[in-house]
Amino acid sequence: MSDMSIDPSLQDAQALANAGQGPAYLPDFKASTPGTMGIELELMVLDRLTYDLFPAAPDILRLLDKEDKPWVHTPEITTSMLEVATSILTSFDAAAEQLEHIRQTVQRAAFEVGAAVSGGGAHPFQKWHEQRIYPKERYFASERKYGYLAKLFTVFGMHVHIGAGDADEAMRLTAWLTQRAPLFIALSANSPCWQGEVSGFCSSRSNVVGAFPMSGILPFELRTWQDFRDHFDRLAAHGIVNSIKDFYWDVRPKPEYGTIELRVLDTPLKPVHAAALACYARELVLEWVDQPGRWPGNASRELYVWNRFNAARDGVEGSWIDPESGATSSIVEAVRADLARLRGRTRDPGFDKACGVIEALMRDGGQAGWLRAHLEAGGGMNDLARMASEMFEHGAP
């Protein structure tokens, strides 16, 4: 991952393109160091009485502006969401430490204005129509473009950026990481309720993004950055896309950072979960980096969609069809096999700890299972939101 700073003139062009106010713009892919990583978390802002979503993000962001810190904070599409992003990281320990600092700082700012914060992929009982669009032109443009989908998108994800080296390599690594993305859906799944109902899915959030026209995955035929640029230009000529942000793919290249971005995870209930899952993704990418020129052998979109569906519905208790071998196994077995292989080649001294955290995430049905157990014990939806908030606020481990 390269330096996060972007040339101001390019930044302006991109900002206008993002807001739908300027011409379509796709920046050049910035060179980066493979395996560097950054983590973005979208957090819920909650009312301390009802634990419903609470439109206090602008006030929290104003307090965070005053903090001297290595990470950044930004608004999100509605005023009950806020996003935080780490600096460039290279190990589990550094990730866990910075995410814990983020948690403490955000929690303190939220308490100061009378709010609570929480992880989790979807709020269990919020009503989409009650959400308020963040007062910023880019988000109003989204609302104009997508109508009610903009508010429906009040879901909370974790995005992992991983340095890809160069532009063509980013396309190859995106294809590989896309294949594995359902495993991350399963491990992070923690949104078993949606709009006040038990949804029957471990990750309800995963179904929301599918409503956007440019959701899905990188088309398999795009093998080079030039292929992607041509694809972008064709879509832009039809007015379908205006910037990279219009691609709601599960994994997408992020040219201005020199990264590929894994976007399928529910925001974990604890920061340490986020650090562990990001390191798992990072180690996978590093493994593919060491196999130059090799592409995934199976391009079946249907197989991907099926794996994704299973992971979203059943979480860590789901099944997995390995796209390369075609063998069916449980998600737990697939993840354990990955971790065992990656442990043997990692250079991150903290990766063992990350594996321990992931192992814990696969116990008792994972995060979704923990939340469901609370409901089955008689807890209501408000209690569920409260429990999630308390888990986040108690921090590590």
Partner 1 sequence: MTEDLSTPLFLLSPLAVLGAGLMVALVVGLSLQRFQIPKLYGAVIAGLLLGSSGAGLIDRALLGQFQELMNGAAALVLFDVGRKMDLAWLLRSGRQGRSLLLATLARGGAAALVLGVLGLPWGAAVFIGSILIAVNPVILSSMIADENASGTSTFASANMVGVSNLVALLALGITLAWTRSHGVDADAGSGFGAELVRQGGKLALGAAIAGLCYALYALATRLCKVPATMRPGMLLAALLIDLGLCSVTASSALLSLLLMGVLLRNAEKRDNVFQAQLATAQDIGYVLLFLMSAALVDLPQLLQEARQPRVLLAAVAVFLLRVAATRLALWPASAWDARKKHAMALSMCSLVSYGGLVVDSTLNAYTGLDPTSTAVMGALLTLNVLLAPGLTWLGLRLAGETYRGGSQ
Residue 326 lies near partner 1 (rule: CB under 8 A) = no
Residue 393 lies near partner 1 (rule: CB under 8 A) = no
Question: Which of 7, 21, 31, 144 forms a contact with partner 1 (CB under 8 A)?
Answer: 144
Of 266, 316, 269, give the one whose Cα is nearest residue 122: 266
Question: Which of 143, 166, 168, 287 forms a contact with partner 1 (CB under 8 A)?
Answer: 143
Binding marks (x or -) toward partner 1, 11..50, rule CB under 8 A?
------------------------------------xxxx
Q: Are 283 and 36 in contact (CB under 8 A)?
A: no
Which three-class secondary structure state does DSSP give residue 28? coil
Q: How far is the CB of 148 from partner 1 (least distance, A)?
A: 9
Q: How far is the CB of 67 from partner 1 (least distance, A)?
A: 12
Which three-class secondary structure state does DSSP give residue 40? strand
Stretch that binds partner 1, among 36-44, 109-117, 162-170, 176-184 (CB under 8 A): 109-117
Question: Which of 7, 12, 112, 364 forms a contact with partner 1 (CB under 8 A)?
Answer: 112
* Tokens describing residue 6: 């972007």
Q: Is the dihedral of CA 258, 263, 267, 273 positive or negative?
A: negative
CA distance 308 to 372: 21
* Count, residues in the chain: 397
Q: How far is the CB of 62 from partner 1 (least distance, A)?
A: 6
Label the pairing between strands 157-163 and 193-194: unpaired
Question: Which of 382, 393, 395, 396 forms a contact with partner 1 (CB under 8 A)?
Answer: 382
Distances (CA, A) of 117 to 69, 368, 373: 19, 19, 22
Residue 140 lies near partner 1 (rule: CB under 8 A) = yes
Which stretch of DSSP H or E encloses residue 307?
helix 301-314
Residue 63 lies near partner 1 (rule: CB under 8 A) = yes
List of residues contacting partner 1 (CB under 8 A):
47-50, 54-56, 59, 62-63, 111-115, 129-130, 132-133, 135, 140, 143-144, 378-380, 382-383, 386
